[in-house]
Amino acid sequence: MELKNYEQFNSINDKVFIVLAKTKSCTVCNAIEPIVHDALLDYPSIPFYKIFIENVIEFSGQQLVFTVPTLIFYKNNKEYARLSRFILKADLNRILSSL
């Protein structure tokens, strides 16, 4: 699901969720998204959101996103882990299994 504004992000009530911060021109972002979707097939209860930071500038400021792609893992409404730039599938799976 795409988050269109910061209020949508703040209204997420899921105990555990993931946000992919990306830009429309980021080719690495487009490549990592299907990898995340595939990894989440083993974790169907974990919601996945994406946000285009050029459209929701407040997100990058409030969540300290300085590069894309950035995957932020939240647990109990707090950041649990973060992967940025070159995201390895092994790192993604390690974090998912620890949630």
Per-residue pLDDT of the chain (99 residues; tens, 9 = 90+): 999 999 999 999 999 999 999 999 999 999 999 999 999 999 999 999 999 999 999 999 999 999 999 999 999 999 999 999 999 999 999 999 999
Note the pTM of the prediction, 2 decimals.
0.92
Instruction: Identify the pLDDT of residue 27.
Output: 94
How far apart (Å, rounded) are the C-alpha atoms in residues 22 and 31?
A: 11
Which residues 6+ apart lie within 8 Å of 84 measured at CB?
67, 68, 69, 70, 71
Instruction: Identify the pLDDT of residue 91.
Output: 96
The residue type at 18: I
| β-strands 2-3, 16-22 pairing | unpaired
Q: Rounded to whole angstroms, what are the CA distances from 27 to 21, 42, 46, 83? A: 13, 25, 25, 17
Residue ranges of domains in the chain:
2-98
Please give the CATH architecture assigned to the domain spanning 2-98.
Answer: 3-Layer(aba) Sandwich (3.40)
